[in-house]
Amino acid sequence: MHVHAYEKLWLALAIVLILLLIGSVTYGAVGPGIAMVADSQDPVDPQALDEDDRFAEPRVEQVGEDEYAAYVEAYQFGFDPDPIVVPEHSTVTFYVTSPDVIHGFQVVGTNANTMVVPGEVAEITVEVTEPKEYGVICNEYCGSAHHAMEGTFEVVSEEEYEEWLDENQDGDDTEGGAADEDGEEGEDA
């Protein structure tokens, strides 16, 4: 088979490009440490979330120094808790599931983005810095009011976070469970 010299050169360059692209993804994974949403969490019965430790009470919970876990339910057509509040300069891990259909969970303008599949629990970890309020949207079509499905993710200062906790956590607040503050931009998932 005759292959023109220029075509051989082109072929070589194409393979170099492909290897560079694969290399850049690999670097993203091992360098900055961008992990993929995966099957790290046990599946749940989507119609019995109230029997699951993680989702019986959707909430934000402090799990370490500057580390927070947000257990979020994405449902037709909203998010719980809403708002999701965390303090500035913290690491936030979102655990997101759905009691009904497939949804999306995206902190708008950041790379905090995942599919939300009933029966599965999506886990993404992000780092938040300065106080800021973000929009949270469902980015997978989920039914007739899909466009109305939104929430907020608030990253607040330490003081505001304390205030927020006082207001929302005392008494028999079963609704929000642990309080949280606000969140911020997704760094890696």
Partner 1 sequence: MSAELEAEPTFVDKFPEEARIIRAAMWGSFLALTLGAIFGIIQTLHRTGLARPFSSVDYYTFLTAHGVFLVISFTIFFLVGLFTWAVVRSLDRPLLNTKITWTWYGMMAVGMTMTGISILAGFTSRIDMSADVLFTFYAPLQAHPLFYTGLVVFIIGTWVAGADWFRTWLAWRDENPGERIPLQTFMVLTTMIMWYIATLAIAASVLLFLLPWSLGLIESVNPTLTRTLFWFFGHPVVYFWLMPAYMLWYTVLPKIAGGRLFSDPLARVVFVLFLLLSTPVGIHHQYLDPGIAEGFKFISMTNTMFLLLPSLLTAFTVVASVEYGARRRGGTGIFGWLRALPWRNPAFTGMMLAGLMFAAGGFSGMINAGLNINYMIHNTIWVPGHFHLTVGTAVALTFMAGAYWLWPQLTNRPLYSPQIGLAQVVLWFIGMALMSNAMHAQGLLGVPRRTAEPEYAGFEYPMAFGGFEELNLQLAIGGTILFVSTVLFIANIVITSWSPKASGLARPLPPALSGPEDAPKVLDNLRLWVGIALVLVFLAYALPLAGIISNSGVFGTGAGTYPVWIDVPTAVAERALAVVTGVTATLVNAVTGVFTL
Q: What is the 3-state secondary structure (H, E, C) of 40-81?
A: CCCCCCHHHHHHCCCCCCCEEEEEECCEEEEEEEEECCEEEC
CB of 113 to partner 1, least distance (A): 5
CB of 171 to partner 1, least distance (A): 27
Amino acid (1-letter code) at residue 103: H
For residue 153, cis peptide bond before it (omega within 30 degrees of 0): no
In the range 108-137, which residues lie near partner 1 by CB under 8 A? Answer: 108-123, 133-135, 137
In the range 134-173, which residues lie near partner 1 by CB under 8 A? Answer: 134-135, 137-148, 150-152
Quote the tokens at residue 115.
């599919």
Q: Is 63 in the site for partner 1 (CB under 8 A)?
A: no
Count of residues interacting with partner 1 (CB under 8 A) = 74
Distance CA(121)–CA(71), nearest Å, equals 10
For residues 12 to 51, the per-residue mask of contacts with partner 1, x marking binding by CB under 8 A and - elsewhere, is --xx-xx--xx-xx--xx----xxxxxx-x-xxxxxx---
Quote the tokens at residue 175.
């609704």
By C-beta, is 91 or 169 nearer to partner 1?
Answer: 91
CB of 134 to partner 1, least distance (A): 7
Distance CA(85)–CA(76), nearest Å, equals 21
Amino acid (1-letter code) at residue 159: E
By C-beta, is 35 or 63 nearer to partner 1?
Answer: 35
CB of 9 to partner 1, least distance (A): 10
Are the CB atoms for 188 and 163 separated by under 8 Å?
A: no
